[in-house]
């Protein structure tokens, strides 16, 4: 009984790790630009596909062990994915920011970019699903009555480490301070001698590379890739970030795991077809009760 | 029965006490002023009386009715109208529409009547439009009826805002810094306008203002607040000579 | 005399449409394009009320559309068709023409309830948060329908074809063209009357300055409720007409992608402009159909110019890359859309000599 519970908890932690990693990206961009980057879930998808191509390439070269390929794939995926994120920022969002466009227009652009990424993938690569190659053999550990794979553990550990790294960057480094400053007053920032564009690009690099990492880990855990995989996960990670309190990375992180828990628990008791439905409904309730999210702070409006 | 009775009004935002046991009483027909340094809590008091905030403590009674729990549009329907420190006209609607929409509470038809253009609807629209034109005419703004507020000079926009508030036929008109940003010529015009409105429409006017010229020449009774609490009240002459008031505005550094 | 110009033009248009459909002058393909146009007009103008006039960010317009589609379909099939789920029809076929509008109305009422559920959170939240709520609501509606196996679940529901042919058997006319035309005119009529009244202008006031609106006596909560419910009810009308036009309905038609199409139409036409919403719906429908031909042509051209490998075919999926791209370009170049927030009579004032649109 207790083993079943622990098993579920571990599953929830692993499942929630993906949401958390992606939610962190939403959170960073929102914190800095007050923009919901609706394309972020699709950047996760792009990351998974990039990982697939990179890994396949290295495997194709021959002579490299699975571990070696993995070691090469991780940084490359993160770098390439962050490049995609930066390109998106440069091409789609920056011109609007220059013009001082209404936030609504930027949000719509983000939504559309997401669709372009999804359908562009489908159009370019076709409908056939790709299978992510196995790089590392699965090792199952049995502790008590609970079985867990090395991959599951790795995912959870990576998520926690990523969070700690981000926390460190945001609260201890200069650029992290600049990121926080930008969220309070974007116009004062250049007056203080900090170029906002640099800060924004850095934010996108951070967020996108973690999404790419999540994509790689997800592809390793669930090897079938399809162009729309980012859409649903992206939406859910986004809702998780909002529930946690968008703009607070602690909230985003907690929200991701919370959603993971909700989903795993729901599946334990209800048929899996209603999993998404119940998850969305619960989250909707939380938002209705506390509109700024669990950890978020309300912005007061003065009249 | 007093028109407005405010007792022990207190407003706390988190740890900050923005308004501290404010009290006032308006019988009806006065032209009173509320002054104080920036950030003293004057607009907060207006927001409380107009129903935009719910007070942390205290009581606001308007025409015998306790306004606790009422939404702003309900308070307005009772007979309170106000203008804003930063002009809050609807900039993409004509001046005429601005004034008609302000009478929203007087429209007593619904969606169905609206769609079918029932006589009820036509009558209601006509009443609202007639009232709008009347007030525009009275304030010499009729020629601007079809203009958009953003095309009007600042002084005229202030006037339109006052006209908008007047169209609600209030018993109490609250003006939040009506003279802010006006040049000298417009200022005299405003003083005359307010005096005229007070006499012509016989309504009660309560005014927040920084420009002493306006306050001293118009107000019969003035309350001074600082840090949310009343520090002095009296007629203009008493206030001008009150040492606490001087200290609040200018500090008490001895030269 | 001016007053009658628009009704006369509409009546003439109506007769022409019905006649060309009846006689087969207009083949079935073009009939369906025109019908889609009508449905898109209803969707775009109704969403425009909330996203344009009220300045909210409703991304879930397909939700009430789905509700309207299913409720009205279930009713008509229950009443007039023999089918696996409901068995024999409950009412005689002679009543179908009279009862059909009421079934649509029932769909609209059900859709309005969805609108109410979204309106309530809108009292306290705006912008991004409301967007999430609407997207979640859209998904919840779709997912709920998918899980109700009694009405077909993910496979969909059909039988409406029998209802529409029963209409045709009664009086031989192209009934769906008629119903959609009437529905479109009804929608634009209701919305126009609402927006041009002082009551409706309260909605614009909420958009431009909600705090001022609330303080200057507009009951913002009530107006938001009215706007959301009206918008959703009309989406339900579009859904009902859509379902009966196709003869079957399935939840996959009502995803966020459909809502996105509605968003494209609203922002293309210009927020807050009724004539803009109508024009952009027409343009969008034509563009969608146009792409159906342009893409194969593009495919051949690119192959001919050896710009793409022979094994690769430019498929219709590119449609869903081009349309979002169009919107992105729009946001960059002309975010206010075709009309900005002006009506046709603001851009061409001389037009008002010819008609009075009240």
Residue pair B168/C217 in contact by the 8 Å Cβ criterion:
yes
Q: Percent of chain B at pLDDT above 90?
A: 65
Residue B65 has pLDDT above 70, yes or no: yes
**Distance between CA B157 and CA B87 in Å, rounded?**
8
Contact: C128, A36; criterion CB under 8 Å: yes
Going from the first residue of chain C to its last (358 residues), give the mean pLDDT of each consecutive group of 10, the final group possibly shorter. 75 84 80 93 96 90 96 90 78 85 95 91 78 86 88 86 86 88 94 93 93 93 94 97 93 88 86 89 91 85 80 80 85 78 72 60
Distance from CA of B238 to the nearest CA of A (A): 31
The residue-averaged pLDDT of B207-214 equals: 89
Res C236: pLDDT: 97
Q: Is A303 on the interface with B (CB under 8 A)?
A: yes
Distances (CA, A) of C175 to C73, C178, C238: 16, 5, 15
Confidence of residue B162 (pLDDT cuts 50, 70, 90): very high
Q: Is residue A63 packed enough to be buried (19+ CB in 10 Å), middle (13-18) or exposed (0-12)?
A: exposed
- For the ranges A31-35, A36-40, B228-232, C328-332, the lowest mean pLDDT is seen at A31-35
A115 touches chain C (CB under 8 A): yes
Check CB contact under 8 Å for A239 and C137.
Answer: no
At A66 the pLDDT is 78
Backbone angles phi, psi at C216, to 5 degrees: -90, 35
Nearest alpha-carbon partner for A293 in A58, A79, A111, A23: A23
| C-beta neighbour count of A62 within 10 angstroms | 6
CA B248/CA B36 separation, integer angstroms: 8
Q: Which residue has the higher pLDDT, B19 or A126?
A: B19
Whether residues A303 and B13 touch (CB distance < 8 A) is answered with no
- A86: nearest Cα among A210, A201, A213, A214: A201
Judged against a pLDDT cut of 80, whether residue A72 lies above it is answered with yes
**Do residues A286 and C149 lie in contact, with contact meaning Cβ atoms separated by under 8 Å?**
no
Separation between Cα atoms, residue C205 and residue C208, nearest integer Å: 5
**Å between C193 CA and nearest CA of chain B:** 5
Q: Which residues of A touch B47 (CB under 8 A)?
A: 303
pLDDT at A302: 47
Subunits touching C (CB < 8 Å, at least 3 pairs)? A, B
Q: Is the pLDDT of residue B250 over 60?
A: yes
pLDDT of residue B30: 92
A112 touches chain C (CB under 8 A): yes
Decide if C200 and B76 are in contact by the 8 Å CB cutoff.
no
Q: Are strands B65-66 and B221-226 parallel, antiparallel or unpaired?
A: unpaired
Nearest CA in chain A to C128: A36
The chain C residues in contact with chain A (CB within 8 A) are 57, 59, 120-121, 124-125, 127-129, 131-133, 135-137, 139-140, 143-144, 146-147, 211, 257, 260, 263, 267, 314-315, 317-318, 320-321, 324-325, 327-328, 331-332, 335
Q: What is the pLDDT of residue B253?
A: 58
Name chain C contacts of B102, Cβ cutoff 8 Å.
216-217
Q: C201 and B88 in contact by Cβ < 8 A?
A: no
pLDDT band at A301 (very low <50, low <70, confident <90, very high): very low
* B194 band by pLDDT with thresholds 50, 70 and 90: very high
Work out the number of other CB atoms within 10 angstroms of the CB of residue A87. 12
Residue A279 has pLDDT above 80, yes or no: no
Mean pLDDT of all residues in B219-231: 91
Taking CB atoms and an 8 Å limit, are A300 and B43 in contact across chains? no
Exposed, middle or buried by CB within 10 Å (0-12, 13-18, 19+), for A192?
exposed
Is B216 or A128 the better-scoring residue by pLDDT? B216
**With an 8 Å Cβ cutoff, are C143 and A291 in contact?**
no
What is the interface pTM, i.e. ipTM, of the complex? Answer: 0.89
CB contact under 8 A, C341 and B92: yes
User: Which residues, in sequence order, are CB contacts of B236 under 8 Å at separation 6+?
Assistant: B215, B216, B219, B222
- Locate the DSSP E strands across chain A: 130-131, 140-143, 146-149, 224-225
Nearest to B97 among C201, C211, C212 (CB): C201
Contact of C357 with chain B, judged by CB distance below 8 Å, is answered with no
Name the β-bridge partners of C195.
none
CB-based contacts of C334, cutoff 8 Å, min separation 6 = none
Does residue C255 sit at the B interface (CB-CB below 8 Å)?
no
C328/A113 CB distance under 8 A = yes
Using CB atoms, pick whichever of C57, C136, C331 lies closest to residue A284: C136
Give the DSSP letter of residue A141: E
**Residue B162 to residue B169: CA distance in whole angstroms:** 11
CB interface of C with B, residues 196-215, below 8 Å: 197-202, 204-205, 208-209, 211-215
Chain C contacts in chain A segment 36-65 (CB below 8 A):
36
CB contact under 8 A, C190 and B115: yes
Report d(CA A107, CA C358) in Å as an integer. 35
Q: Which residues of C touch B115 (CB under 8 A)?
A: 189-190, 193-194
Cα separation of C295 and C307, whole Å? Answer: 15
Concatenate the DSSP letters of all residues of B123-136 into one string.
Answer: HHHHHHHHHHHHHH
Arithmetic mean of pLDDT, A263-282: 80
d(CA A145, CA A140) in angstroms, rounded, equals 12
Cα B41 to Cα B39: distance, rounded to the nearest angstrom: 5
Q: What is the DSSP letter of B71?
A: -
Mean pLDDT, chain A, integer: 83
CA-wise closest residue to A252 among A25, A67, A94: A25
**Within a 10 A sphere around the Cβ of A36, how many other Cβ atoms?**
24
Q: Do A300 and B13 touch (CB under 8 A)?
A: yes
pLDDT at residue B192 in the model: 93
For chains A and B, CB pairs below 8 A equal: 6
Confidence band of B160 (pLDDT split at 50, 70, 90): very high
Best of B43, B51, B70, B73 to disrupt the C interface (most C CBs within 10 Å) is: B73
> Which positions in chain C touch A105 (Cβ < 8 Å)?
331, 335
Per-residue CA distances from A120 to C112, C197, C294, C314 (Å) = 36, 45, 18, 11
**pLDDT tens per residue, range A18-29:** 899 898 888 888
Encode chain C in three state secondary structure: CHHHHHHHHHHHHHHHHHHHHHHCCCCHHHHHHHHHHHHHHHHHHHHHHHHHHCCCCCCCCHHHHHHHHHHHHHHHHHHHCCECCCECCCCCHHHHHHHHHHHHHHHHHHHHHHHHHHHHHHCCCCHHHHHHHHHHHHHHHHHHHHHCHHHCHHHCEECHHHHHHHHHHHCCCCHHHHHHHHHHHHHHHHHHHHHHCHHHHHHHHHHHCHHHHHHCCCCHHHHHHHHHHHHHHHHHHHHHHHHHHHCEECHHHHCHHHHHHHHHHHHHHCCCCHHHHHHHHHHHHHHHHHHHHHHHHHHHHHHHCCCCCCCCCCCHHHHHHHHHHHHHHHHHHCCCCCCCCCCHHHHCHHHHHCCCCC
C-alpha separations of B30 from A104, B172, B204, B213 in Å: 46, 10, 5, 18
Q: Do C218 and B73 touch (CB under 8 A)?
A: yes
Sign of the alpha-carbon dihedral angle for A288, A293, A297, A300? negative
């Amino acid at each position: 009984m207790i083993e079943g519970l622990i098993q579920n908890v571990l599953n929830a932690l692993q499942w929630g790790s993906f949401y958390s990693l992606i939610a962190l990206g939403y959170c960073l961009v929102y914190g800095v630009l007050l923009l919901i980057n609706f394309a972020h879930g699709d950047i996760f998808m792009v990351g998974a596909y990039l990982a697939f191509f990179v890994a396949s390439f290295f495997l194709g070269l021959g002579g490299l062990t699975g571990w070696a390929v993995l070691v090469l794939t991780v940084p490359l995926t993160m770098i390439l994915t962050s490049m995609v994120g930066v390109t998106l920022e440069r091409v789609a969002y920056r011109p609007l920011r220059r013009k001082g466009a209404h936030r609504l227009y930027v949000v719509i652009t983000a939504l559309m970019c997401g669709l372009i990424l999804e359908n562009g993938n489908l159009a370019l690569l076709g409908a056939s699903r790709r299978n992510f190659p196995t790089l590392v053999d699965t090792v199952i550990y049995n502790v008590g009555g609970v079985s867990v794979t090395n991959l599951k553990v790795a995912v959870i550990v990576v998520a926690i480490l990523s969070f700690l790294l981000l926390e460190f960057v945001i609260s201890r480094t200069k650029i992290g301070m600049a990121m926080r400053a930008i969220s309070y007053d974007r116009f004062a920032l250049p007056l203080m001698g900090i170029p906002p564009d640099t800060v924004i690009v850095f934010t996108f690099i951070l967020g996108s590379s973690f999404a790419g990492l999540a994509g790689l880990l997800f592809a390793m855990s669930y090897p079938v890739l399809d162009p729309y995989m980012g859409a649903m996960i992206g939406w859910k990670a986004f809702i998780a970030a909002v529930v946690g309190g968008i703009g607070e990375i602690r909230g985003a992180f907690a929200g991701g795991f919370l959603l993971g828990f909700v989903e795993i628990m729901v599946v334990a008791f209800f048929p899996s077809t209603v999993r998404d439905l119940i998850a969305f409904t619960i989250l909707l309730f939380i938002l209705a009760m506390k509109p700024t999210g669990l950890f978020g702070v309300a912005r007061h409006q003065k009249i | 029965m007093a028109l407005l009775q405010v007792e022990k009004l207190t407003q706390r935002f988190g740890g900050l006490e923005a308004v501290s046991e404010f009290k006032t009483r308006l019988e009806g027909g006065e032209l009173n002023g509320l002054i104080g340094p920036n950030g003293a809590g004057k607009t907060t008091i207006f927001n409380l009386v107009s129903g935009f905030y719910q007070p942390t403590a205290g009581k606001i009674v308007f025409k015998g009715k306790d306004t606790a729990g009422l939404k702003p549009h309900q308070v307005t329907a009772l007979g309170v109208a106000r203008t804003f420190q930063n002009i809050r006209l609807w900039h993409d609607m004509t001046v005429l529409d601005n004034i008609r929409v302000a009478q929203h509470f007087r429209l007593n038809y619904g969606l169905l009547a609206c769609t079918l253009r029932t006589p009820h609807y036509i009558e209601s629209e006509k009443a609202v439009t007639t009232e709008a034109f009347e007030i525009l005419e009275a304030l010499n703004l009729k020629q601007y009826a079809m203009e958009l507020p953003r095309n009007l000079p600042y002084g005229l926009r202030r006037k339109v805002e006052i006209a908008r508030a007047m169209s609600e036929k209030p018993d109490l008109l609250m003006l939040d810094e009506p003279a802010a940003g006006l040049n000298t010529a417009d200022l005299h015009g405003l003083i005359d306008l307010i005096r005229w409105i007070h006499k012509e429409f016989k309504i009660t006017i309560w005014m927040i203002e920084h420009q002493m010229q306006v306050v001293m020449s118009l107000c019969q009774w003035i309350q001074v607040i600082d840090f949310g609490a009343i520090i002095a009240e009296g007629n203009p002459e008493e206030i001008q000579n009150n040492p606490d008031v001087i200290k609040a505005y200018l500090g008490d550094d001895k030269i | 005399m001016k007053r009658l110009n628009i009704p006369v033009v509409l009546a003439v248009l109506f007769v022409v449409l019905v006649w060309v459909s009846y006689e087969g002058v207009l083949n079935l393909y073009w009939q369906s394009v025109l019908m889609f146009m009508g449905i898109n007009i209803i969707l775009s103008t109704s969403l425009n009320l909330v996203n344009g006039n009220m300045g909210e960010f409703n991304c879930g317009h397909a939700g009430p559309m789905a509700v309207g589609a299913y409720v009205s379909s279930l009713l008509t099939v229950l009443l007039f068709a023999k089918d696996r789920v409901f068995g024999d029809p409950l009412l005689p076929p002679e009543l179908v023409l009279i009862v059909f509008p009421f079934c649509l109305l029932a769909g609209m009422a059900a859709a309005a309830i969805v609108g109410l559920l979204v309106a309530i959170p809108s009292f306290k939240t705006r912008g991004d948060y409301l967007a999430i709520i609407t997207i979640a609501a859209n998904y919840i509606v779709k997912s709920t329908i998918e899980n109700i196996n009694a009405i077909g679940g993910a496979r969909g529901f059909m039988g409406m074809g029998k209802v529409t042919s029963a209409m045709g058997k009664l009086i031989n006319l192209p009934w769906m063209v008629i119903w959609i035309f009437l529905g479109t005119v009804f929608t634009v009529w209701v919305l126009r009357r609402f927006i041009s009244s002082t009551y409706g202008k309260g909605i614009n006031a909420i958009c431009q300055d909600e705090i001022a609106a609330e303080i200057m006596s507009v009951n913002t909560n009530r107006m938001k409720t009215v706007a959301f419910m009206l918008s959703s009810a009309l989406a339900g009308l579009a859904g009902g007409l859509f379902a009966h036009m196709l003869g079957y309905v399935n939840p996959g038609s009502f995803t966020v992608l459909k809502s996105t199409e509605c968003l494209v139409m609203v922002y293309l036409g210009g927020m807050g402009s009724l004539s803009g919403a109508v024009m952009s719906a027409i343009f969008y429908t034509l563009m969608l159909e146009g792409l159906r031909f342009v893409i194969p042509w593009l495919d051949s051209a690119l192959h001919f110019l050896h710009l793409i490998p022979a094994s690769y075919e430019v498929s219709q999926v590119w449609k869903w890359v081009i349309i979002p791209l169009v919107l992105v370009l729009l946001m960059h170049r002309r975010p206010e859309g075709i009309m900005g927030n002006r009506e046709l009579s603001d851009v061409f004032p001389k037009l008002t000599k010819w008609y009075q649109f009240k």
